[in-house]
Structure 1
Amino acid sequence: MHHSQSMQDMPDEGMAITVHGILLGFDFGTKRIGVAVGNSISCTARPLTTLHGEHNGQRFAAIGELIREWEPSALVVGLPSHDDGTPHELTRLCRRFAQRLKGRFDLPTILVDERYTSTAASSQLNEMGVRGIKQKPLLDQVAAQQILQAYFDEPAIEQIP
């Protein structure tokens, strides 16, 4: 493959979607949304914040603030499913959330398989000495960090059209 050929010319079955710049990662939940920020140059992500509140208006206003502040080039949303990969109720809600993000902010919105990220988030906090009930406020944003890290380690396959 000569150098002028980019990823864009490759067939798109299971194609990695690579985005450059700053990315915001989201761990969607009906009660809370964890948010992380990452950078494609260093390929690292860090927890940013957890958004509380169940009203979409509040949530999207808060996300809008973060987007203004960080000016990300893409948004990454963790897509949960059962361990065997079959979707459940939250899978549908996450997809809808990702579609709304794309519709409202018009940024590339990428879905990442998050089946193993919340377990990873919890063990990462354990390693940092944050245990039990103290994990609660941090868990969502660390899960978002894991989602973003999973994307950096193995760029996602699915993008919201």
Structure 2
Amino acid sequence: MHFDSQLRQSYRRGVTVLTLEELAEQTPPGTPWLGLDLGEKTIGVAVSDTTRIIASPLQLIRKTKFTDDANAVLKLMDGRKASGLVIGLPLNMDGSEGPRAQSCRAFARNLQRIRTVPCVFQDERLSTSAVERFLIEELDLNRKRRANVVDRTAAAWILQGALDRLRV
């Protein structure tokens, strides 16, 4: 199934998810977006600049319970005056959705129950492995140092991918 058609299916599943173009149209110019890499134990967070050209790693949230995790994300949005979210969607290599993708959709759906937040899903296949490879080959970081930066760097990779797609 094509990724854009999967986004459209999000509407039918009760999640208010936009296309990337709709996110750009519906969020105020000059406001950044946050990118999220939703892992099992952590949430990597990245932020764009106000021109939405460059994404930078921001923070790592250690997951506890959903309400606390959601409030931490919303607090970061408020603090940065971010107007939208780009959430990594970990699709399988064949484009299908597994349990991790369903978990990401559930996070977005539950977040919308707390506050309506404009968001889009971004295909994140291989983002973590690409970031790991970069951290090893280019920055020569050891395993412990990589563990501290990989998730927020993956969030930046996901957000940057969305920003780049807008400029194409």
Using the size of structure 1 for normalisation, the TM-score is 0.80
RMSD (Å) for aligned C-alpha atoms? 1.9
Aligned to 1:7: none
Measured in 2, the distance between the counterparts of 1:112 and 1:62 equals 21
What whole-Å deviation, never above 9, does each CA across 1:116-155 have from its counterpart, x for those lacking one? 2112211232212323232112111001000000101114
Q: How does 1:23-38 map to 2 (within 5 A)?
A: 23-38=33-48
* Structure 1: 5+ residue stretches without partners: 1-11, 156-161
State, as a whole percentage, how many aligned pairs show the same letter: 30
Identify the residue that residue 130 of structure 2 maps to in structure 1: 120
Q: Encode CA deviations 1:52-101: one digit per residue, 9 max, x unaligned.
A: 03311221221122112011111110000111111110010001112223
The answer as to whether partners of 1:81 and 1:115 remain within 8 angstroms in 2 is yes
Larger Rg: 1
| Contact 2:33–2:52, Cα closer than 8 Å, also in 1 | no
CA distance in 1, matches of 2:56, 2:108: 20
Answering whether residue 160 of structure 2 is matched by residue 153 of structure 1, we say no
Aligned with 2:60 (options 50, 73, 79)? 50
What is residue 159 of structure 1 aligned with on the other side? none
Cα distance change, pair 16–34 in 1 and its aligned pair in 2 (3 A): closer
**Residues paired across the two proteins, number:** 142
**5+ residue gaps in structure 2?**
1-7, 9-18
Q: Does 1:131 align with 2:142?
A: yes
Q: 1:86 aligns with which of 96, 99, 102?
A: 96
Deviations 1:1-24 (A, max 9, x none): xxxxxxxxxxx9xx6515243000
CA distance in 2, matches of 1:135, 1:152: 24
Counterpart CA distance in 2 for 1:112 and 1:79 is 6
Judging by fraction of residues, say which structure has more helix.
2
Residue 14 of structure 2 corresponds to which residue in structure 1? none
> Structure 1 runs of 4+ off > 3 angstroms?
none
Q: What TM-score, normalized to structure 2?
A: 0.77
Q: Secondary structure at the match of 2:40?
A: coil
The change in CA–CA distance for 1:29 and 1:105 in structure 2 (over 3 A counts) is: same
